[in-house]
Amino acid sequence: MILVTGGAGFIGSNLVKALNDQGHTDIVVVDNLKRSEKHLNLGDCTIADYFDKQEFFDRLLANRAPTHFSHVFHQGACSDTVESDGHYMMYWNFAFSRELLDYCQHHMVPMVYASSAATYGASTAFTESPENERPLNVYGYSKLAFDQHVRARMSKLRAPVVGLRYFNVYGPREQHKNRMASLVHHFRRQLQQGDVVKLFEGSHGYGPGEQRRDFVYVGDIVKINLFFGEGNHPAGIFNAGSGQSASFNDLANAVIAAEGRGRIEYVPFPEDLKGKYQAFTEADLTKLRDAGYNEAPTPVMDGVRMTLEEVKRLRG
């Protein structure tokens, strides 16, 4: 059996679908379907069992969780980067992860978990090293705190643990995320409402719309998860991105090209984001390549086209 936490979410459901495509149907999903529209992400997937995330956490704490997993892919988290409730963030992103790690070590189960490039925050260097880690919000800190916990236990691990620092992931099965969906979906909605994609004016030394991020297609993130899930690879914390930054103008133009209409309009940079905004990210993939992962990233133009085609297919 394979456990996927956050399995009804964006990356988790894409991972479940990829596992199905490999012939795996013995999948246990842990998630929270309080927002019932998330079930659509699993509508074309096959799973063997489902647990609500609070029920599963309670089972972990009481040593009553199932003990027959061969692999754990821990994708579940509060991913709202503007969430200000630190207690809530640390409960789900740190405490739950720590208990799941204890479970995996006790039962000798390999674990691949989702970290985040938000751990780098204000840094301009993106190698997996403590001196580059400066989170700008409690979300980034919650991810860093668990990374630090894993590092502290690395020399005593009984089963492999791999943390993947996701950069700006986009793709299908994320429309349920509303404000936290990737910019591809926000740009598509803007075009549906008025044929205009709105980008920030120049900031942080960049011209209008020229702020840059490492936009990575979710299919590439799934491949990296599956690569480490196969075992026989080093444990540790690895960047998971494309390794190539692209401007917001590039991304907006890719959406406009895929939709066949629209134009860009620039708006003032918001006051409440000053001092809290990553104007540039680009994953250093040296450590990932050294681990043996050599797949080429999906170009932004292709990834955006495939995303919007899949969104239309899933919506029928």
Question: What is the DSSP secondary structure assignment for residue 282, as one 8-state letter?
Answer: -
Mean pLDDT value across the chain: 94
Q: pLDDT tens across 217-228, in order?
A: 999 999 999 999
Q: pLDDT tens across 291-309, in order?
A: 999 999 999 999 999 999 9
264, pLDDT greater than 90: yes
Find all residues with CB under 8 Å of 84, minimum gap 6, and list them: 138
Kindly state the average pLDDT of the residues 4-24. Answer: 97
Q: 290: which 2 tokens?
A: 């050294």
Say how many Å lie between the first and final Cα of the chain, rounded. 31
Q: 79: which 2 tokens?
A: 């991913």
Q: Residue 120's pLDDT is what?
A: 96
Tell me how far apart the alpha carbons of residues 137 and 4 are, in angstroms, rounded to a whole number.
26
Tell me how far apart the alpha carbons of residues 188 and 193 are, in angstroms, rounded to a whole number.
9
Q: pLDDT tens across 114-139, in order?
A: 999 999 998 999 999 999 999 989 99
Tell me how far apart the alpha carbons of residues 309 and 304 are, in angstroms, rounded to a whole number.
9
Domains of the chain and CATH, by start: 2-167+215-243+284-297 (3.40.50.720)
Tell me how far apart the alpha carbons of residues 222 and 48 are, in angstroms, rounded to a whole number.
20
* Cβ 277 vs Cβ 209: under 8 Å: no
Q: Distance of CA 206 to CAs 84, 245, 266, 269, Å?
A: 28, 13, 13, 12
Q: What is the pTM of this model?
A: 0.95
Q: Residue 231's pLDDT is what?
A: 78
> Which conformational region is residue 199 in: left (phi greater than 0), alpha (psi within -120 to 50 degrees), or beta?
beta
Closest residue by Cα to residue 291 from 238, 216, 215, 218: 238
Q: At what angle do helices 183-194 and 300-314 cross, to 10 degrees?
A: 70
Better-predicted residue by pLDDT, 114 or 276 = 114
Within the chain, strands assigned E span 2-5, 27-31, 49-52, 71-74, 111-116, 161-166, 168-170, 196-200, 212-213, 215-217, 236-240, 246-247, 263-267
* Cβ 28 vs Cβ 66: under 8 Å: yes
Q: Residue 249's pLDDT is what?
A: 98
% of the chain with per-residue pLDDT over 70: 99
166, pLDDT greater than 70: yes
Tell me how far apart the alpha carbons of residues 292 and 240 are, in angstroms, rounded to a whole number.
13
- Three-class SS state of 196: strand
- Three-class SS state of 183: helix
316, pLDDT greater than 70: no
Kindly state the average pLDDT of the residues 165-178. Answer: 91
User: Model confidence at 230, in pLDDT bands (50, 70, 90)?
Assistant: confident
312, pLDDT greater than 80: yes
Q: Which residues of 262-299 are buried (b: 16+ CB within 10 A; e: fewer)?
A: bebebeebeeeeeeeebbbbbbbbebbeebebeeebbe
Q: pLDDT tens across 183-220, in order?
A: 999 999 999 999 999 999 999 999 999 999 999 999 99
Kindly state the average pLDDT of the residues 145-172. Answer: 97
Catalogue the active-site residues. Answer: 139, 177
Task: Supply φ then ψ for residue 304, to 5 degrees.
Answer: -65, -45
Give residue 16's identity as a one-letter amino acid code: V
* C-alpha neighbours within 13 Å on the C-beta side of residue 207: 2
* Cβ 135 vs Cβ 94: under 8 Å: no
Kindly state the average pLDDT of the residues 156-163. Answer: 96
Q: Residue 93's pLDDT is what?
A: 97
Q: Residue 147's pLDDT is what?
A: 98
Q: pLDDT tens across 42-73, in order?
A: 999 999 999 999 999 999 999 999 888 999 99
Closest residue by Cα to residue 187 from 269, 254, 272: 254
